[in-house]
Amino acid sequence: MARIVGGLTTSHVPAIGGAIARGLQAEPYWKPFFDGFLPVHQWLDEVKPDVAVVFYNDHGLNFFLDKMPTFAVGAAPEYRNADEGWGIPTSAPFHGQQDLSWHIIEHLVAREFDITTCQEMLVDHAFTLPMKLFWPNGVPVTVVPVCINTVQFPLPSARRCYQLGQAVGEAVRSWDGDRKVVVIGTGGLSHQLDGERAGFINKPFDLKFMESLVDDPEWATQYSIHELVEKTGTQGVELLMWLATRGAVAGRVRKVHTNYHIPISNTAAGMMALEALA
Ligand code: DHB
Ligand code: FE
């Protein structure tokens, strides 16, 4: 049976792509952000996962406003980037773990999640940049993308996203693939890109949320989507990917490393690496 080794979560600001392309990782602006990933590289070198299930939100590349699934699961042989990374060179296609995709899809539908199944799927900065951040020298894992709508209202509730994560976790653990699976969630933390509150950041809430994911993972499910927008900004609701990730990892975790840095572009940039304890 497959085993979930842990969960990795990070912000996915497009400007990261430009910084990587231009080799700016050691510049004063970027160093506090990129340095946060170094202990995670070490952990990944030791643990060596085979597969990544990635919760992320598409920003209008694969789904536009005319067709917006609440939850969508990739079941494609490969996932290409059609560049929305503000300068990252076009990345090699990501290889799909199709048998796990279908196993997850079967399980989610049996558990009464009405998902969209994507046998073709393009991935944007929210998918490509975290992969590059966690594996700067090339991606050694096959992937299953799971998309959660945080772009067009109405959005799924925090509780529902946590439950989705739990169901994905159950599916992975019951897959006979005998592989090590890492769960990744990308987005957040607090940010708002437009409107009267453009530039809004809420450090106390972000830190409390990060802390909750270790020992009290359901803490954020007490909030409605509108409360989360109020507390974290219109795009800060991308933290739903972090909740889904923690739902999938389930049980007790060990904090491998966390990082929080303000700002990267308009965003409070957070990163967490949690190891699943048996
Ligand atoms: C920014 C952050 C995002 O999450 C995103 O999808 C696009 C832009 C930003 O802060 O620039
Ligand atoms: Fe985003």
Amino acid, single-letter form, for residue 92: A
* Helices 203-215 and 240-249, packing angle to 10 deg: 10
**pLDDT confidence of residue 65:** 94
248: left (phi over 0), alpha (psi -120 to 50) or beta: alpha
User: What letter does residue 190 receive in the DSSP assignment?
Assistant: S
| Ligand sitting nearest the alpha carbon of 57 | 2
Answer for the pair 202, 190: CB distance below 8 angstroms, yes or no: yes
**pLDDT confidence of residue 87:** 67
The set of catalytic residues is 125, 191
Ligand 1 within 6 A of CB of 13: yes
From 203, 223, 275, 206, select the one nearest 246 (Cα to Cα): 275
Of the residues 16, 125, 127, 193, which should be mutated to test ligand 1's pocket, given the most ligand atoms within 8 Å of the CB?
193
Ligand 1 within 6 A of CB of 267: yes
Per-residue burial over 50-81, b = 16 or more CB atoms within 10 Å of its CB, e = otherwise: bbbbbbbbbbebbbeeeebbbbbbbbbeebbb
**pLDDT confidence of residue 88:** 67
CA of 20 to the centre of ligand 1 (A): 16
Neighbours of 215 (CB within 10 A): 10
**pLDDT confidence of residue 90:** 72
Give the strand order in the sheet containing 94-95.
94-95, 78-81, 122-123
pLDDT in tens, the chain (278 residues): 999 999 999 999 999 999 999 999 999 999 999 999 999 999 999 999 999 999 999 999 999 999 999 999 999 999 999 876 676 667 889 999 999 999 999 999 999 999 999 999 999 999 999 999 999 999 999 999 999 999 999 999 999 999 999 999 999 999 999 999 999 999 999 999 999 999 999 999 999 999 999 999 999 999 999 999 999 999 999 999 999 999 999 999 999 999 999 999 999 999 999 999 97
Ligand 1 within 6 A of CB of 59: yes
By CB neighbour count within 10 A (0-12 exposed, 13-18 middle, 19+ buried), where does 147 fall?
Answer: buried
